[in-house]
């Protein structure tokens, strides 16, 4: 994680206006991705209201009775429960321009390395495997690719090309396209491949299963504090653990959460496995119990409240459950590489995930009603009491559930579809990110994360990629192939 980052410590103005702080030991200072707090001098001179709104949010999360999240110094310290002013992937030398993966890793070297070629407008269609096995493992020798058509309904490619591999093949197409590419190449659930007439190279049941994404619920309120900054993301995020969330956001408090989660796992595992989210109920139960340990024992953050400004005279919070028990899946439906896979997102598919979403939404309403935030909130705009009535209890579970189911959006943080875990549990890659049953195919993207994380994905994936680079270099130096 540190290897990927050049962190810029907050200056005096950022400390004063944003309440920015950091812990030097958990940051890197020589990596390609720039990380910094918002440059306070770039805000419009009359945008003082943005800082006031953010300060009110942080203070309210810290002092709301029953919530009282600790205001922590650094969200990157490995225990992200509390309320934080967070750094962003931005470059202060470029007026807070986004420091993207492309600009951080590719741009500095793309014109300097003769052994690096980027093809835009092309699609990898198939990984090609040799017929013979080596030590029981299948060896990949090439990747077939083709120009990407403008029309996604186009038939199979009329012209394809092949690029050959001297050492290994690395898939980094993300949690949707990496498993789809494996399936098209004959690595995946045997029943799926047989149904499509694809020769089975490695029967690997976990490919495309264990899909986990987060259901996000945006809420908004009007504000008496006006500024001309417009819609923008600020720096404040609250991360409650399960006890804090249900104590503050649930009608009946957190008394039975420690029993509800372990008791619910057998039924959740059975229902999600039956729907294709896992290789078996027994395997998924083992994985879910590890997840429950993170939530109940390690007190991992279970919800994120992402504070932002929807308009100059408003404020908003996007709340989402971080660690869902719902499990989806994806499957190719055709050998045509341009046909998108069928995706079952499984958002809020088990009752605990809906309970977390409801508690999060009710908690946001209660924060809007709690000082000092309530002193600058004029009214709740989304959902508003017409959609979710409030009789003084923050709104009923039934009303909130109905609204959340109609209002949630995908958080676009998919993980788990080529998970790094034991093969019998539905794992797809081993501890060195090699695909089981293959000698020289690795996956390096968010699909290898077996469980969701109490964080955003980008910095985590940078860390995975940096570790993968070390593993690849180690194997090359050792002559492993």
Of 394, 410, 426, the residue at which a domain comes to its end is 410
Catalytic residue among 27, 122, 297, 413: 413
Among 241, 349, 357, residue whose Cα is nearest residue 295: 241
- 219 and 315 assigned to the same domain: yes
What length does the chain have? Answer: 481
107 domain residue, yes or no: no
Is 456 catalytic? The answer is yes
Give φ, ψ of 147 to 5 degrees.
-60, 140
Q: How confident is the model at residue 417 (pLDDT cuts 50, 70, 90)?
A: very high
The pLDDT of residue 392:
93
**Phi and psi based region of residue 136 (left: phi greater than 0; alpha: psi -120 to 50; beta: remaining):** left
- 203 and 218 assigned to the same domain: no
The pLDDT of residue 78:
87
How many structural domains is the chain composed of?
A: 2
Residues 6+ apart with CB under 8 A from 166: none
114 domain residue, yes or no: no
Is 27 catalytic? The answer is no
The pLDDT of residue 45:
44
Pseudo-torsion of CA 436, 441, 443, 448, nearest 10°? 10
Among 9, 67, 432, 23, residue whose Cα is nearest residue 239: 67
Question: What is the rounded distance in angstroms from the CA atom of residue 55 to the CA atom of residue 64?
Answer: 14
Q: Does 252 have pLDDT greater than 80?
A: no
Of 356, 388, 410, the residue at which a domain comes to its end is 410
The pLDDT of residue 481:
66
115 domain residue, yes or no: no
What average pLDDT does range 35-59 have in this prediction?
75
The pLDDT of residue 46:
41
Q: Does 444 have pLDDT greater than 60?
A: yes
- 179 and 225 assigned to the same domain: no
What average pLDDT does range 165-193 have in this prediction?
97
Q: Tens of pLDDT along 103-120? A: 999 999 988 888 888 899
The answer to whether the beta carbons of residues 202 and 438 sit under 8 Å apart is: yes
Q: How remote is the C-alpha of 13 from its chain's centroid?
A: 31
Q: Does 227 have pLDDT greater than 80?
A: no
Mean pLDDT of the chain: 92
What average pLDDT does range 183-193 have in this prediction?
98
Q: Does 83 have pLDDT greater than 60?
A: yes
pLDDT, greater one: 33 or 96 = 33
| Residue 216: domain span | 2-102+212-410
The pTM of the full predicted model, rounded to 2 decimals, is 0.94
Q: How remote is the C-alpha of 81 from its chain's centroid?
A: 17
pLDDT, greater one: 233 or 260 = 260
Q: How confident is the model at residue 154 (pLDDT cuts 50, 70, 90)?
A: confident
Q: What is residue 274's three-state secondary structure?
A: helix
The pLDDT of residue 226:
74
What average pLDDT does range 75-86 have in this prediction?
91
The answer to whether the beta carbons of residues 61 and 48 sit under 8 Å apart is: no
What average pLDDT does range 406-412 have in this prediction?
96
CA quadruple 449, 451, 453, 457: dihedral sign: positive
Q: Tens of pLDDT along 320-367? A: 999 999 999 999 999 999 999 999 999 999 999 999 999 999 999 999
What average pLDDT does range 422-436 have in this prediction?
98
The pLDDT of residue 300:
96
Q: Does 447 have pLDDT greater than 70?
A: yes
The pLDDT of residue 117:
87
The answer to whether the beta carbons of residues 231 and 369 sit under 8 Å apart is: no
Q: Does 156 have pLDDT greater than 90?
A: no
The per-type count for the chain, helices as H runs and strands as E runs, is 11, 20
Task: Give the percent of the chain with pLDDT over 70.
Answer: 95
Question: What is the rounded distance in angstroms from the CA atom of residue 235 to the CA atom of residue 18?
Answer: 8
Asked which of 46-50, 75-79, 319-323 is least confident by mean pLDDT, the reply is: 46-50
Of 410, 436, 460, the residue at which a domain comes to its end is 410
Question: What is the rounded distance in angstroms from the CA atom of residue 118 to the CA atom of residue 45?
Answer: 43
Instruction: Kindly report the CATH number assigned to the domain that includes residue 39.
Output: 3.30.560.10
- 162 and 150 assigned to the same domain: yes
């Amino acid at each position: 994680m540190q290897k990927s980052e050049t962190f810029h410590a907050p200056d005096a103005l950022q400390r004063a206006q944003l309440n920015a702080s950091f812990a030097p030991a958990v940051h890197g200072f020589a990596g390609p991705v720039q990380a910094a707090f918002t440059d306070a001098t770039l805000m419009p001179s009359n945008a003082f209201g943005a800082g006031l709104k953010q300060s009110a949010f942080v203070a309210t999360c810290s002092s709301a009775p029953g919530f009282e999240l600790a205001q922590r110094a650094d969200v990157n310290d490995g225990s992200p429960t509390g309320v934080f002013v967070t750094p962003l992937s931005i470059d202060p030398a470029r007026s807070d321009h986004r420091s993207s993966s492309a600009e951080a890793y590719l741009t500095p070297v793309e014109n300097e390395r003769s052994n690096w070629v980027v093809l835009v407008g092309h699609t990898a269609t198939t990984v090609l495997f040799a017929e013979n096995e080596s030590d029981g493992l299948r060896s990949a020798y090439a990747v077939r690719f083709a120009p990407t058509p403008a029309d996604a309904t186009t038939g199979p490619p009329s012209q394809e090309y092949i690029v050959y591999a001297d050492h290994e093949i690395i898939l980094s197409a993300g949690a949707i396209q990496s498993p789809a590419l494996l399936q098209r190449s004959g690595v995946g659930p045997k029943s799926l491949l047989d149904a499509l007439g694809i020769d089975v190279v490695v029967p690997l049941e976990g490919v495309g299963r264990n899909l986990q994404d987060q259901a996000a619920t945006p809420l908004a309120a009007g504000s008496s504090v006006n500024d001309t900054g417009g819609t923008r993301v600020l720096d404040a995020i609250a991360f409650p653990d399960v006890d804090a969330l249900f104590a503050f956001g649930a009608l009946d408090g957190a008394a039975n959460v420690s029993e509800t989660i372990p008791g619910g796992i057998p039924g959740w595992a059975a229902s999600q496995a039956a729907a294709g989210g896992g290789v078996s109920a027994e395997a998924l139960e083992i994985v879910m119990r590890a997840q429950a340990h993170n939530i109940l024992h390690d007190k991992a953050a279970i919800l994120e409240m992402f504070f932002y400004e929807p308009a100059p005279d408003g404020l908003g919070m996007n709340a989402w459950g971080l660690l869902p028990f719902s499990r989806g899946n994806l499957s190719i439906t055709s050998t045509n590489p341009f046909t998108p896979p069928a995706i079952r997102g499984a958002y809020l598919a088990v009752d605990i995930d809906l309970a977390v979403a409801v508690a999060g939404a009710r908690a946001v309403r209660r924060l809007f009603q709690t000082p000092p935030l309530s002193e600058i909130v004029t009214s709740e705009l989304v959902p508003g009491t017409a959609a979710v009535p409030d009789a003084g209890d923050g709104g009923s579970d039934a009303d909130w559930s109905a609204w959340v189911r109609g209002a949630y959006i995908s958080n676009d943080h998919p993980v788990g579809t080529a998970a790094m875990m034991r093969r019998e549990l539905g794992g797809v890659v081993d501890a060195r990110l090699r695909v089981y049953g293959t000698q020289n195919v690795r996956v390096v993207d968010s699909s290898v994360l077996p469980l969701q994380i109490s964080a955003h994905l980008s910095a985590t994936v940078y860390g995975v990629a940096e570790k993968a680079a070390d593993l690849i270099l180690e194997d090359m130096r050792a002559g492993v192939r």
